């Protein structure tokens, strides 16, 4: 029950679908560009402080990047193992894969030194996804 309560309490802190925006600032930078977004944020130092505080307290979970082998932030070994695994896998049925431009999310999270995990695309069962997320939050499991 404690783990379920923790998941519900923090439900806005993770991304479980590529259709969700990781965070307003992260998503906006991907689609509108860093300069435009930073100019708007810097117009209000209070706004920036609140956003930064929220970002630093968050743990982001992003879907496995299945469409782009050149995502920044992935080591060569991890990238190559992903490519090999994905090449051997039949087409995914649940659409959890990210589009190539979503690789920008990982680069931004890494550049801001924010904690994130990549949810493997092979986990397609909703309950298994929930348990996977809980294992990251509690430090238990794989």
What pLDDT digit, counting tens, does each position of 2-41 carry? 555 554 544 434 433 333 334 455 555 655 666 766 666 6
Reply yes or no on whether the pLDDT at 53 is more than 60: yes
What pLDDT is attached to residue 69?
Answer: 45
What pLDDT is attached to residue 48?
Answer: 60
Residue of 71, 80, 77 whose CA lies nearest to 116: 71
In tens, the pLDDT along 80-102 reads 665 555 444 443 333 334 444 44
**Where are any strands of DSSP class E within 1-142?**
59-63, 115-119
Q: How far apart are CA 132 and CA 116, in angstroms?
A: 13
What pLDDT is attached to residue 117?
Answer: 72
What pLDDT is attached to residue 71?
Answer: 44
Q: How far apart are CA 71 and CA 73, in angstroms?
A: 6
Q: Given pLDDT bands bounded at 50, 70 and 90, which one contains residue 118?
A: confident
Q: Given pLDDT bands bounded at 50, 70 and 90, which one contains residue 128?
A: confident
What pLDDT is attached to residue 86?
Answer: 47
Residues facing 118 on adjacent strands: 62
Reply yes or no on whether the pLDDT at 131 is more than 70: yes
**CA dihedral sign, ordered 9, 112, 97, 32:** positive
């Amino acid at each position: 029950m404690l783990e379920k309560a923790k998941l519900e309490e923090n439900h806005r802190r993770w991304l479980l679908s590529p259709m969700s925006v990781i965070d307003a600032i992260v998503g906006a930078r991907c689609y509108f560009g860093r300069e435009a977004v930073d100019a708007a944020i810097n117009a209000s130092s209070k706004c920036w402080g609140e956003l930064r505080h929220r970002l630093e307290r968050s743990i982001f979970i992003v879907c496995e990047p299945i469409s782009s082998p050149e995502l920044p932030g992935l080591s060569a070994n991890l990238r190559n193992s992903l490519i090999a695994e994905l090449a051997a896998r039949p087409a995914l049925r649940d659409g959890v894969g990210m589009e190539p431009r979503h690789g920008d999310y990982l680069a931004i999270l890494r550049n801001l030194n924010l904690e994130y995990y990549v949810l493997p695309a092979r986990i397609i069962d909703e309950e298994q996804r929930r348990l996977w997320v809980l294992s990251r939050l509690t430090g238990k499991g794989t």
